[in-house]
Amino acid sequence: MESQRQKKIAALLQSDLVDVLQSSASQSGLKGVLISVTKVNVTVDLSHAKVYLSFFPVNQAKKLMDGIRQNAPLIKHEIAQRTRHQLRRMPDLEFFIDDSLEYIDKIDRSLKGLDNPLENPDLLEKRKKK
């Protein structure tokens, strides 16, 4: 169970990460790319934060995630500068792709009869463990 402190820090990180990632994407010249921070989980000791990201368009997710992971120290520094009066110590950031929306969309399409997994079992592959 998350403490109030963990929830507050997660919310603070989430809002600042949205600003940093969107502004860096627009500065990089990526037009029409939307990066959303779907969830941030902070450990009990507040030393690590798992950041789950969702991308649009989905076909560029892997390339964008590679760029974010390579620039993780710069992102952490930028967030630390923004939160220096609110946090004593900046947690280490780990980034993951949140594919839950894509997975839900596949199930929704199947339920509506658009994609029938009984006729084509490859449509609903097993979810990837992170």
Judge if 61 and 82 occupy the same domain. yes
**CA-wise closest residue to 67 among 90, 33, 110, 92:** 33
Across residues 10-19, what is the average pLDDT? 95
Cα separation, 112 vs 50, in Å, equals 34
Q: How crowded is residue 91: how many other Cβ atoms within 10 Å of its Cβ?
A: 22
**Residue 14 · residue 82 · CB < 8 Å:** no
Judge if 111 and 69 occupy the same domain. no
Judge if 109 and 90 occupy the same domain. no
Number of domains the chain contains: 2
Q: Which domain holds residue 113?
A: 100-130
User: What would you report as the CA-atom Rg of the chain, rounded to the nearest whole angstrom?
Assistant: 17
- Average pLDDT across the chain, whole number: 86
In the numeric block, which tokens belong to residue 31?
């037009």
pLDDT given at position 24: 85
Q: How crowded is residue 14: how many other Cβ atoms within 10 Å of its Cβ?
A: 17
pLDDT given at position 28: 80
Judge if 110 and 68 occupy the same domain. no
Segment 65-88, tens digit of pLDDT = 999 999 999 999 999 999 999 988
Judge if 113 and 129 occupy the same domain. yes
Judge if 23 and 62 occupy the same domain. yes
The more confidently predicted of residues 118 and 100 is 100
Instruction: State the DSSP code for 115.
Output: S
Judge if 110 and 65 occupy the same domain. no
**Residue 106 · residue 123 · CB < 8 Å:** yes
Judge if 90 and 71 occupy the same domain. yes
**Residue 64 · residue 55 · CB < 8 Å:** yes
pLDDT given at position 129: 61
Judge if 74 and 106 occupy the same domain. no
